[in-house]
Chains A and B, each alone.
Chain A
Amino acid sequence: AQSVTQPDIHITVSEGASLELRCNYSYGATPYLFWYVQSPGQGLQLLLKYFSGDTLVQGIKGFEAEFKRSQSSFNLRKPSVHWSDAAEYFCAVGSSGGSYIPTFGRGTSLIVHP
């Protein structure tokens, strides 16, 4: 069965500092991978996705993520965090079809100090 692990429940960074949120997945084939962000009381917004090709993907709001097959990871990065980036971040794995259940990680809460 596929699974997604986000090992960090909370991460605290100072505004302007760099950020890396970790995501590890378990999936039999090449997965589709996603990062979503959720502000309090809101739905999830897609930040970026990986389907195939270039393993470094760029997303919205200055975020990027790198797919590393050998490490089964898809970590999210941002070079300089803004206070408005404080939110919950979810990594997710999907597939191209067949019988599967789309799987989300438990999320990482990002706290940004001024």
Chain B
Amino acid sequence: KAGVTQTPRYLIKTRGQQVTLSCSPISGHRSVSWYQQTPGQGLQFLFEYFSETQRNKGNFPGRFSGRQFSNSRSEMNVSTLELGDSALYLCASSFKVGTEAFFGQGTRLTVV
């Protein structure tokens, strides 16, 4: 069974631009979560989707948004990038909300 796939693995963007990250969950998993990981703040929860609906949202500004498609694939979008958005963005999928999450390798975003 294929694991969680995140694309791209690395991104370099300029301040003010926007970026879209993609996540394909494990087959059969309907819950997808997104996390931002930085050395200073650790792992911070962004949002979680289940069956195309956002179930939970962390404490991030509206520049961070996401969506989930009918095949459970998810995208995360960050608009008007700031230097502080540089981070490893991790996606995780679960069979159902709250249970064990399986993580992708992440997308390393660098904002210059």
Question: Is B49 positioned at the interface, with any CB of A under 8 Å from its CB?
Answer: no
CB < 8 Å neighbour of B106 from A32, A43, A46, A49: A43
Which of B14-22, B64-72, B79-87, B92-100 contacts the other chain? B92-100
Q: A45-B103, A101-B56, A107-B42 are in contact. Are A95 and B90 (CB under 8 A)?
A: no
Contact present for A97 and B97 (CB under 8 Å): yes
Q: A100-B56, A101-B58 are in contact. Are A46 and B43 (CB under 8 A)?
A: no
Contact present for B98 and A94 (CB under 8 Å): yes
Q: Which of B37-80 contact A (CB under 8 A)?
A: 42-43, 45, 48, 55-56, 58
Q: Which residues of B contact A102 (CB under 8 A)?
A: 33, 45, 48, 56, 98, 101
B side interface size, CB within 8 A? 26
Q: Which of A58-106 contact B (CB under 8 A)?
A: 90, 94-97, 99-106
Most chain B C-beta atoms within 10 Å of own C-beta, residue among A43, A45, A103, A104? A43
Interface size class of A (residues with CB under 8 A): 20 to 34
Bound: A41/B103 CA distance, A: 13
Contact present for B43 and A107 (CB under 8 Å): yes
CB < 8 Å neighbour of A101 from B45, B100, B105: B45
Query: Please, could you name 27 A-B residue pairs with CB atoms under 8 Å apart, sorted by A?
Result: A32-B100, A34-B101, A42-B105, A43-B103, A43-B105, A44-B92, A45-B103, A46-B100, A46-B101, A51-B99, A90-B43, A94-B98, A94-B101, A95-B98, A96-B99, A97-B96, A99-B56, A100-B98, A101-B56, A102-B33, A102-B48, A102-B56, A103-B45, A104-B42, A105-B42, A107-B42, A107-B43
Residues of chain B touching chain A, judged by Cβ–Cβ distance below 8 Å, are 4, 6, 33, 35, 42-43, 45, 48, 55-56, 58, 88, 90, 92, 96-106, 108
Residues of chain A touching chain B, judged by Cβ–Cβ distance below 8 Å, are 32, 34, 36, 41-46, 49, 51, 90, 94-97, 99-107
